[in-house]
A and B are shown apart, each in its own frame.
Chain A
Amino acid sequence: MPAHLEVVAARKAFRTPEGGVMTALDGISVKLASAEFVTLLGPSGCGKTTLLRCISGFETLDSGDIVIDGSAVTQMPAHRRPVNTVFQRYALFNHMSVARNVGYALEIAGKDKREIRTRVGEMLDLVGLAGLGKRSVSQLSGGQQQRVALARALAGKPKLLLLDEPLSALDKNLRQKMQQELKAIQRELGIGFVFVTHDQEEALTMSDRIAVLAHGRIQQIDAPSVLYQRPANLFTADFLGESNLLPVTLGGTTATLADGQTFATPHPAGRATLLLRPEALGFALPDGPALSFTGRIAETYYSGKDHQITLQTPAHGSIRAVIRAGGQSPEIGADLTLHAPAIGLHLIDEVAG
């Protein structure tokens, strides 16, 4: 598929008020296929919002290029770029009705009134606000304002929609509903979405691909399942979901844990880190090769559908496990052995400092 958006070696630094320099984008390159939902995920200050603002044209790159549909827009001012943005705090025009907000891009483009009215109607239907066009923006709830912002950004038929943490102000239920709707709308319209968030669950749920950013660089960009199961480095493994990161010594065909347990791996010799997700651990000894961890239960939380256990082990420190509820209930202070199948384990070529 042809690249729809391409960011090439983007660099951007800001001067801090103290006189220092903060590198927000440190050579970022990323390609987005048309109709792809890509999420920029990272802790605050990682550069994800800066990257989005450079794509929309509110910030200019120090060096590098931004190409949309084959033409470079690096030097183009925001109002001429074929992208639209859904802003974090909506940024709606309070002095205009809902319909005028939604039709703003068309009004600016000089479309005739009948065309605008039709398109605004379609957009309000799409976001589930049919019939509310005459309302004033301030009469709407937060969730409704969010939908107006979405409809407004989509009305001008952008080639690419940028979303800057649009759901962060909504409560949890509404947020999950909007996540599903956003995804459905994106599929229906078939345009590319670049979605910025610091919420990993949100990123995993919605995205075709996730770019994990830290310190102005893309740490890894992959499909959510790949990112979760086979993170490329310690940062991604740690940032995305819960993880146990255990140092191992590699010996050609086997890897050895700190307590002497071994498992087979094709990984070349050296040192590495084993990623063991908490849900891989269980009470029962699996068939075939397995890793076992014995220790004392230091903490346990019951969440209804599962138990979250922190096991204090002599050789590995804390090991976290999530075990489906039912059967025995773990108790703090009790001794426990947990097992994980030792097949297809993921190793990271870095050793935790």
Chain B
Amino acid sequence: MLRRLLSLYGLLFFVFIYAPILLVVVYSFNANTMNMMVWSGFTFDWYRQIFGLPTSITDSTTYVDSSAQLYAAIRTSLTVAFSTSVFATVFGTALALAVARYRFRLAGFYRTLMMVPMIMPDIVLGIALLIFFITIGMNLSILTIIIGQSTFLISYVFVTVSARLAAFDTSVEEASADLGATPMQTFRKVTLPGIAPGILGGWLLAFIISMDDLVITYFVAGTGNTTLPIHIWGMLRRGIKPEINAIATLMLLFTVVIAGVGLYFRSRRTK
């Protein structure tokens, strides 16, 4: 009896977590144009609509006036995500290495300092960055988005790489030096391959979070730089319409693929 109740509880738990997401995916294929919560048949129209392909939709339920805007938003998001994640990965990894490998005063304090941006409320960070950029007279642009996101994404890479470094046996670095490798050779041939899964994981994590960030980006984005989340937010302000399901589903698919790639490399390199 208790076992059954526990199973039921477990089932409900996962329904609670995944049902809304599953509904979005299911309704992205719903042919009902009048009421998107009532299933009336299967269609790809909403996907066709997003990409500006001919559809059978006749009324004015849609909000994508031109796919060009959506494409521009995706392009901005990808540019930002790529730049930010590379930037955050390089600096996050360097910081993690410094804190793990060298003894210096206040090392523990710096480690904590690196964690803080992750728990900082987005809205506070967003406002602070906005005020900062205005104060130093920097025009809001794609560059301010990249700088703004990097401030907290470095932390995510730092934490991921640090975890990997903590499990990394330093005696292999000593072995490499012992066999004649210079510090740079040791880093390239031994340290880097050893922590590569952590670096790759940190990079992908930063990429996904960057693609997804709304609050901070909203504050520091100039008018001409709409990222995908900001674009979707703008669409939602005009009411919830069926295409949003299709866009959400595509984003979900993208994220799952990226995370899957990350997990694949992780398992392959650590065996």
Which residues from chain B contact A89 at a C-beta distance below 8 Å? 169, 171
Partner of A92, one of B172, B182, B186, B269: B172
- Asked if residues A77 and B194 are in contact (CB atoms below 8 Å), the reply is no
Chain A, range 242-259, C-beta contacts under 8 Å to B = none
Expressed in whole angstroms, the Cα–Cα distance for A84 and B176 within the complex equals 10
Cβ-defined contact, A91 with B180, below 8 A = no
Residues of B within 8 A of A78 (CB): 174, 177-178
**Is the Cβ of A95 less than 8 Å from the Cβ of B193?**
yes
A56 to chain B, nearest CB (A): 6
A57 surroundings in chain B (CB, below 8 A): 177-178
User: Distance in Å from the Cβ of A236 to the closest Cβ of chain B?
Assistant: 31
Of A95, A152, A156, most B-chain CB atoms within 10 Å: A95
Chain B 151-203 residues near chain A, CB threshold 8 A: 169, 171-172, 174-183, 185-186, 189-190, 193-194
Q: How far is the CA of A156 from the CA of B269 in the complex (A)?
A: 28
Q: Do A93 and B177 touch (CB < 8 A)?
A: no
Whether A79 is near chain B, meaning CB under 8 Å from some CB there, is yes
**B135 → chain A closest CB, angstroms:** 44
Question: Do the beta carbons of B172 and A108 come within 8 Å of each other?
Answer: no
A87 interfacial contact with B, CB 8 Å: yes
- Number of A residues near B (Cβ < 8 Å) is 25
Partner of A93, one of B172, B178, B183, B185: B172
| A29–B121 CA distance with the chains assembled, in angstroms | 61
Known: A78-B174, A108-B185. A91 touches B169 (CB 8 A): yes
When the two chains form their complex, are residues A108 and B175 in contact, meaning their CB atoms are under 8 A apart? no
Other-chain residue from A80, A91, A109, A138 in contact with B175 (beta carbon distance below 8 A) = A91
Given the interface contacts A93-B190, A95-B193, does A109 sit within 8 Å of B171 by beta carbon? no
A78's closest neighbor in chain B, by CB? B177
- Quick check: B181 and A91 within 8 Å, CB to CB? no
Most buried by A among B180, B181, B185: B180
Given known pairs A95-B193, A95-B194, A108-B185, the reply for A156 and B172 (CB within 8 Å) is: no
Asked if A109 and B180 sit within 8 Å, CB to CB, the answer is: yes
Given that A91-B169, A93-B190, A108-B185 are contacting pairs, would A56 and B175 also be in contact in the complex, using a CB cutoff of 8 Å?
A: no
A105-B175 Cα distance, complex, nearest whole Å:
10
Complex Cα–Cα for A77 and B176 (A): 12
A302 within 8 A of B: no
Partner of A105, one of B180, B186, B194: B180
- Complex Cα distance, B175 from A78, in Å, reads 10
A85 at the interface (CB under 8 A from B): yes
* A92–B178 alpha-carbon span in the complex (Å): 12
Q: Tell me the nearest residue of chain A to B193, going by C-beta.
A: A95
Looking at A57, A80, A83, A85, the one whose CB has the most chain B CB atoms below 10 A away is A85
Within 8 Å CB of B171, what residues of A?
87, 89, 91
| A79 touching B178, Cβ below 8 Å | yes
Render A154-172 as a binary contact track against B, CB cut-off 8 A, 1 for contact: 0010000000000000000
- Cβ-based interface call for A228 (8 A): no
Q: How far is the CA of A105 from the CA of B178 in the complex (A)?
A: 9
Q: How far in angstroms is the closest Cβ of chain B from A151?
A: 12
Q: Please name the residue on chain A nearest to B171 by beta carbon.
A: A91
Question: In the complex, what's the smallest C-beta–C-beta distance from B268 to chain A, in angstroms?
Answer: 11
Asked whether, in the complex, the Cβ of B179 is within 8 Å of the Cβ of A152, the reply is yes
**Partner among A79, A85, A91, A109 whose Cβ is within 8 Å of the Cβ of B172:** A91
Contact of B180 among A92, A93, A108 (CB under 8 A): A108
Q: Residues of A contacting B180 with CB < 8 Å?
A: 79-80, 105, 108-109, 156
Per-residue interface assignment for chain A, residues 93 to 131, with 1 indicating a CB less than 8 Å from any chain B CB and 0 otherwise: 111000000001100110000000000000000000000
CB B117 to nearest CB in A, in angstroms, measures 30
Interface string of A241-281 (1 = CB under 8 A from B): 00000000000000000000000000000000000000000
Q: Is A58 in the interface zone, CB < 8 Å from B?
A: yes
Residue of B nearest to A104 (CB): B179
Complex CA gap A89/B175 in Å reads 11
Do B172 and A84 touch (CB < 8 A)? no
Q: Which residues of B contact A95 (CB under 8 A)?
A: 193-194, 269
In the bound complex, what is the Cα–Cα distance between A83 and B182 (angstroms)?
15
Q: Are B179 and A56 in contact (CB under 8 A)?
A: no
B194 close to A87 (CB less than 8 A) = no
Contact A79 B169 (CB under 8 A): no
Residues of A within 8 A of B181 (CB): 79, 104, 108
Query: With a CB–CB cut-off of 8 A, which chain B residues contact A85?
Result: 174-175, 178
Q: How far is the CA of A80 from the CA of B169 in the complex (A)?
A: 22
Q: Which residue of A lies closest to B185 (CB)?
A: A108
Does B193 lie within 8 Å of A105, measured CB to CB? Answer: no
Cα–Cα distance between A87 and B169 once the two chains are bound (Å): 12
Report the Cα distance A230→B243, complex, angstroms.
Answer: 93
**In the bound complex, CA of A77 to CA of B174 (Å):** 11
Give B196's nearest chain A residue, CB to CB. Answer: A95
Asked whether A104 lies within 8 Å of B176 as measured between CB atoms, the reply is yes
Q: Separation in Å of the A137 CB from the closest CB of chain B?
A: 11
Residues of A within 8 A of B194 (CB): 94-95
In the complex, what distance in Å separates the CA atom of A94 from the CA atom of B270?
9
Q: A91-B169, A95-B193 are in contact. Are A79 and B182 (CB under 8 A)?
A: yes
Task: Offer 17 A-B interface pairs, CB within 8 angstroms, sorted by A.
Answer: A57-B177, A57-B178, A58-B174, A77-B177, A79-B178, A79-B180, A83-B178, A84-B179, A91-B169, A92-B172, A93-B176, A93-B189, A104-B189, A108-B179, A108-B181, A153-B178, A153-B179
The 10 closest A-B CB pairs, nearest first, are: A91-B175, A91-B171, A105-B179, A78-B177, A79-B177, A95-B193, A108-B180, A85-B178, A108-B181, A91-B172
